[in-house]
Each structure stands twice: as structure tokens, then as C-alpha cells.
């Protein structure tokens, strides 16, 4: 992997690539990118946990939220789309819940999974083998939007945080972009001119931040919002991720930005270690996601912390009473512990945010 990146750097006139291009290669290079290789990523055997991997009760609650939205919008033959569904566990548990609670809707349901990773697509196909209704896979939202116009819900958990991002740093002469070049001891960063699109975007933000501050910018999110809106004829987009509104995200207290690396459950901030074998991720700018969505025809109808969203949709009612004593073997205790974990304000409940957008719903 490192050789491929070196070759690409050496082939550039300036002998450097943007951090965004480095991140794209590290995560999505056709044969060696982190998400493209056949290695577990999510869960105990992988590099990180997600809410989805904590317990099926997460997916069950999302399914209840989705059913309520379909009912509100009078969508009776819906399509359920999941983007970046990883192992397929959430989709499987959502379908099981819909089948149990609303068999008449389940019978009419079409499932679409949009997944960039061939490894994850294979896992999803295995996870949904039992589901006999229509199911289709696409490798990008853009590809799906060319073939489908759906009524239903487009759901994602931890999709946007996996996008390659540009990084800029403020110094005395203004903002400069972080580029990656080959140094004596391996890959190293240098500051250089911003690509034109990035410069224009940053000028539009008009940020007043201190010298030394680094921020990440996800330019690809605009196209993603357009593709999502193009795919959706009528219904809702539910986006769950860690992130913040712009004011909090680009705040002096986050001097070094939000880039994090995950390798075998160790979190650190060096993207040049374990290249192709670790996840790289940044916080989502939910202000930008909302704005891009609005430009593309998606109206924000809710934005709240994960704990509030899950509680509003009945998570606490899914706790079970029991007389068990052994925390290692008790299924009920495990379920109740997961519920606590999902709404812990200092953990998943407080760090993750949920944005719900609608299209064709309200006048
Ligand atoms: C951090 S994982 C989250 C997996 C799962 N949603 C969960 O919560 O466990 C990100 C997933 O998004 C997929 N992904 C990343 N970029 C994508 C894109 N542009 N289109 C479709 N899938 C993408 C990755 O392959 C991976 O499966």
C-alpha cells in the first residue's frame, strides 16, 4: 500500500498529494484500501465498535422510528435503503423487527443496500439471505440514483464520517492545505496552496479561527446530498454519525481537528501508521449536511442527540425485567446494558447525532 502511495506522489508535478487523496487511497484503493480488503473491521474481531454492533436493540429502535415515519407520510409500499451498512447487521435486525411488528408492510417492502466495500457487500448478502423480498445492491449512491427513485427511508449510521476529507491549517499568511509527500523517514505532511475548490469553499465560510488551528473539510458531501436527494422521490433521510454543527466543530478548543485512526481497538491520531490496515475518520459537519441537503431539496425536520432520538422512539420500553444474577450469561442483562450504552451521554448517546430530512412530505 505504501509503495502505491509513494508511486502516486512521485508521479505528481509537485511530488505531493492532498491529504484527501491520501485518505481516499488508504481507505478505498481498489485492491489495498482499508475498506476494500477482506478483513473484519466492525466489532470485536475488527478495529472499532459502532452502535450497530453493540446490540440488535439499536436497529429495532431505528426500525420503529422508520415505521412511524412511513405511517405519518402514508407510505404503504416502502423502500428501505441503507448506505454504508457494514456487516449488514442493522439491516437484518431492522427487517426482523418490521416483519414482527408490521407483517403487512414487510410483505410490500423493497430493500436497497448501497455499499462501497465488496467485502461488506458480501457480508450483507449473507446477512440478508433469509429475506425473500426484493433486495438490490449498489456500490454508490450515484449509481443507485441512476436506476431508482424511491419512496421510503434512506438510512445511514457512520457513513459520512468515512469520507476522505481535505485538511487545512491556519498560519500567519492565512489558510493552507495539508499535503502528503515522501520524506526521509516515510510519508510526511507539508503545507501548500489550497486546491481552487477548497479555497473557494473556505472563503465562503469566513472563519475567524486562531493561528495553528486545523480543520477538516468534506467537499464530497455536496455531491452526496445531491445523489441522496435524486434517489429519494418521497420520504425521509435518517443520518446518524458523530459530528457537530459548524460552530462547535470549528471551535478553537478543537485545535488539531477531529481526525482519528482506529486499529485493533486502539484509537490514535497518526494516519501514516498501519496504512490500509486502520480506519481513518473525522467528525461530520452537520451544518454543511443540512445546507447541502436543502440545496438539493431535502428539508431538515429534526436534529438531535442519539440518546434523545432513541428514547423518543421507545428504546427504554425495550428494556426487560428479569431476576437474573449472572451478568455473563443473562440475555436480559446484556440487552439492558446495551440500552444504557446507547444512551450514555458521555458515550454513544452524547457523541452521536441524528439528522432527519424529508422530501415530498410537507407543503
Ligand atoms: C464506519 S463503517 C459503518 C458500518 C455500519 N453502518 C455500522 O454502523 O456498523 C462505514 C461503512 O460505509 C461504507 N462506505 C464508505 N464510503 C461509502 C460510500 N461513498 N458509499 C457507500 N458506502 C460507503 C464503508 O465501506 C463501510 O461499510
| Widest CA span in the chain | 69
> 164 or 331: which carries more pLDDT confidence?
164
Is 159 close to ligand 1, i.e. is its CB under 6 Å away?
Answer: yes
- Centroid of ligand 1 to alpha carbon of 297 (angstroms): 24
Q: Would you place residue 11 in the very low, low, confident or very high pLDDT band (cuts 50, 70, 90)?
A: very high
Cell 486499529 belongs to 263
Give the number of the atom of ligand 1 that is nearest the alpha carbon of residue 53.
Answer: 9
Looking at residue 193, what DSSP letter applies? P
- Mean pLDDT within 195-222: 92
Helix (H, G, I), strand (E, B) or coil at 43: coil
Which pLDDT score, from 0 to 100, does residue 347 have? 84
For ligand 1, atom 13, the nearest C-alpha belongs to 84
Q: How far apart are the first and last CA of the chain?
A: 51
CB distance 162 to 284 below 8 Å: no
- Mean pLDDT within 204-216: 92
Condensed to tens digits (0 to 9), the pLDDT of residues 119-130 reads: 999 999 999 999
> Can you list the pairs that 44-49 forms with residues at least 24 positions away whose Cβ atoms lie under 8 Å?
47/262, 47/263, 47/264, 47/265, 47/278, 47/279, 48/262, 48/265, 48/279, 49/265
- Mean pLDDT within 104-113: 96
Which pLDDT score, from 0 to 100, does residue 118 have? 94
- Centroid of ligand 1 to alpha carbon of 202 (angstroms): 27
Q: Give the DSSP per-residue string, 109-169.
A: -EEEEE-S-HHHHHHHHHHTTT--S-EEEESSHHHHHHH--EEEEEEEES-GGGS--EEEE
- List, in order of start, the domains of the chain with CATH numbers: 2-33+166-217 (no CATH), 51-162+219-246+281-358 (3.40.50.12710)
Please state whether beta strands 260-263 and 266-268 pair in parallel, antiparallel, or not at all (unpaired).
antiparallel
CB distance 105 to 97 below 8 Å: no
**Is residue 324's pLDDT more than 80?**
no
| Alpha-carbon radius of gyration of the chain | 21
Q: Would you place residue 314 in the very low, low, confident or very high pLDDT band (cuts 50, 70, 90)?
A: very high
Give the number of the atom of ligand 1 that is nearest the alpha carbon of residue 281.
Answer: 1
Which pLDDT score, from 0 to 100, does residue 336 have? 84
**Is residue 326's pLDDT more than 80?**
no
Distance from C-alpha of 13 to C-alpha of 301, rounded to nearest angstrom: 46
Give the number of the atom of ligand 1 that is nearest the alpha carbon of residue 42.
Answer: 9
Give the number of the atom of ligand 1 that is nearest the alpha carbon of residue 41.
Answer: 2
Is 83 close to ligand 1, i.e. is its CB under 6 Å away?
Answer: yes
- The residue among 141, 158, 37 whose CA lies nearest residue 81 is 141
- Mean pLDDT within 222-240: 97
Condensed to tens digits (0 to 9), the pLDDT of residues 149-189 reads: 999 999 999 999 999 999 999 999 899 999 999 998 899 99
Is 348 close to ligand 1, i.e. is its CB under 6 Å away?
Answer: no
Condensed to tens digits (0 to 9), the pLDDT of residues 66-82 reads: 999 999 998 888 999 99
Is 120 close to ligand 1, i.e. is its CB under 6 Å away?
Answer: yes
Q: Tell me which of 116, 124, 260 to substitute to probe ligand 1's pocket, judged by most ligand atoms within 8 Å of the beta carbon.
A: 116
- Centroid of ligand 1 to alpha carbon of 147 (angstroms): 21
Which pLDDT score, from 0 to 100, does residue 344 have? 86
> 334 or 92: which carries more pLDDT confidence?
92
Which pLDDT score, from 0 to 100, does residue 50 have? 84
Helix (H, G, I), strand (E, B) or coil at 277: coil
Phi-psi region of 212 (alpha: psi -120 to 50; beta: other; left: phi over 0): left
**Is residue 362's pLDDT more than 80?**
no
Distance from C-alpha of 153 to C-alpha of 359, rounded to nearest angstrom: 10
- Measured CA distances, 295 to 12, 66, 226 (Å): 35, 24, 8
Condensed to tens digits (0 to 9), the pLDDT of residues 242-282 reads: 999 999 999 999 999 999 999 999 999 999 999 999 999 99
Q: Would you place residue 363 in the very low, low, confident or very high pLDDT band (cuts 50, 70, 90)?
A: low
Amino acid at each position: 500500500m505504501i509503495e502505491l502511495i509513494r508511486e502516486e506522489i512521485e508521479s505528481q508535478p509537485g511530488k505531493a498529494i492532498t491529504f484527501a487523496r491520501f485518505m481516499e487511497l488508504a481507505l478505498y484503493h481498489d485492491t489495498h484500501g482499508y475498506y476494500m480488503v477482506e478483513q473484519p473491521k466492525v466489532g470485536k474481531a475488527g478495529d472499532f465498535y459502532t452502535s450497530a454492533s453493540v446490540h440488535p436493540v439499536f436497529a429495532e429502535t431505528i426500525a420503529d422510528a422508520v415505521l412511524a415515519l412511513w405511517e405519518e407520510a402514508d407510505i404503504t409500499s416502502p423502500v428501505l435503503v441503507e448506505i454504508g451498512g457494514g456487516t449488514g447487521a442493522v439491516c437484518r435486525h431492522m427487517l426482523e423487527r418490521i416483519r414482527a411488528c408490521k407483517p403487512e408492510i414487510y410483505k410490500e417492502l423493497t430493500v436497497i443496500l448501497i455499499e462501497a466495500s465488496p467485502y461488506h457487500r458480501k457480508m450483507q448478502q449473507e446477512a440478508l439471505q433469509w429475506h425473500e423480498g426484493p433486495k438490490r445492491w449498489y456500490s454508490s449512491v450515484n449509481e443507485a440514483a441512476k436506476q431508482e427513485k424511491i419512496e421510503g427511508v434512506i438510512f445511514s449510521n457512520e457513513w459520512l464520517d468515512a469520507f476522505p476529507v481535505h485538511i487545512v491549517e491556519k498560519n500567519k499568511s492565512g489558510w493552507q492545505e495539508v499535503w502528503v509527500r515522501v520524506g526521509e523517514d516515510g510519508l510526511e505532511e507539508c503545507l501548500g496552496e489550497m486546491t481552487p475548490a477548497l479555497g473557494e469553499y473556505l472563503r465562503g465560510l469566513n472563519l475567524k479561527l486562531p493561528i495553528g488551528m486545523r480543520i477538516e473539510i468534506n467537499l464530497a458531501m455536496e455531491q452526496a446530498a445531491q445523489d441522496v436527494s435524486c434517489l429519494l422521490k418521497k420520504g425521509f433521510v435518517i443520518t446518524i454519525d458523530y459530528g457537530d454543527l459548524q460552530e462547535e466543530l470549528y471551535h478553537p478548543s478543537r485545535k488539531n481537528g477531529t481526525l482519528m485512526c482506529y486499529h485493533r481497538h486502539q484509537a490514535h491520531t497518526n494516519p501514516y501508521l498501519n496504512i490500509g490496515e486502520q480506519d481513518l475518520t473525522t467528525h461530520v459537519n452537520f451544518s454543511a449536511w443540512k445546507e447541502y441537503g436543502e440545496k438539493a431539496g431535502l428539508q431538515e425536520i429534526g436534529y438531535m442527540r442519539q440518546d434523545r432520538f432513541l428514547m423518543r422512539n421507545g428504546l427504554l420500553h425495550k428494556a426487560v425485567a428479569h431476576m437474573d444474577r449472572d451478568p455473563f450469561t443473562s440475555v436480559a442483562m446484556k440487552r439492558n446494558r446495551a440500552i444504557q450504552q446507547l444512551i450514555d451521554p458521555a458515550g454513544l448517546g452524547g457523541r452521536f447525532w441524528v439528522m432527519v430530512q424529508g422530501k415530498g412530505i410537507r407543503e
